[in-house]
């Protein structure tokens, strides 16, 4: 059996619902590098079910855009709905654990949540990083050199 090594571990985020129940979510904080070079830290939900990293549509100013729907249009299926929804694709610079990558990002209308602003998806990201997912210990393992 192959063994894999990881240099970093990221603890799941511990949240508490209104009824007091504890929930653990794999939320990671990613730096979005704007066209001007400034960095903004954004919380994203680690989502292996998302083909492409997806951000809330109204984050478009961070990408140096004047509207959210000027990119390459995409029809995207979502976990919650039968019909595809419209997303717009862009190329952005992201930084995780000090490693900077270029990757495609979709802007899309997403549910509003103060604790994450988008989904950290597979395309390009999963080539640049290796991930190990350990739900029982609420840990996400990351290597920068997969």
Query: Contact residues for other proteins (CB under 8 A)?
Result: 6-10, 13-18, 23, 25, 27, 29, 31, 38-43, 56, 58-59, 61-62, 79-82, 97, 111-115, 117, 137, 141
Helix segments in 16-146, DSSP class H: 125-128
Cα–Cα distance for residue pair 42/82, rounded to 1 Å: 29
Write down the least CB distance from residue 102 to other proteins, Å: 19
Cα–Cα distance for residue pair 52/50, rounded to 1 Å: 5
Contact 20, 84 (CB under 8 A): no
Residue 61 or 73 having the CB closest to other proteins = 61
Residue 62 or 123 having the CB closest to other proteins = 62
Cα–Cα distance for residue pair 130/126, rounded to 1 Å: 6
- Paired tokens of 78: 């979502």
Which one-letter DSSP state was computed for residue 35? Answer: T
Write down the least CB distance from residue 126 to other proteins, Å: 19
Write down the least CB distance from residue 107 to other proteins, Å: 12
Residue 106 or 116 having the CB closest to other proteins = 116
Write down the least CB distance from residue 42 to other proteins, Å: 6
């Amino acid at each position: 059996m192959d063994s894999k090594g990881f240099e970093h571990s990221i603890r799941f985020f511990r949240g508490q619902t209104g009824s007091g129940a504890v929930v653990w979510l794999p939320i990671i904080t990613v730096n979005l590098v704007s066209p001007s070079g400034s960095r903004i830290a954004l919380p994203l939900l680690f989502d292996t079910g998302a083909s492409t990293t997806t951000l809330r549509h109204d984050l478009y100013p961070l990408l140096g855009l004047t509207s959210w729907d000027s990119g390459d249009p995409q029809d995207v299926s979502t976990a919650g709905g039968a019909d595809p929804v419209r997303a717009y694709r862009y190329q952005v610079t992201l930084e995780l654990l000090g490693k900077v990558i270029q990757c495609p990002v979709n802007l899309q209308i997403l549910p509003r949540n103060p604790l994450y602003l988008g989904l950290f998806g597979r395309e390009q990201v999963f080539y640049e990083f290796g991930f190990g997912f350990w739900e029982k210990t609420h840990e996400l393992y990351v290597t920068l050199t997969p």
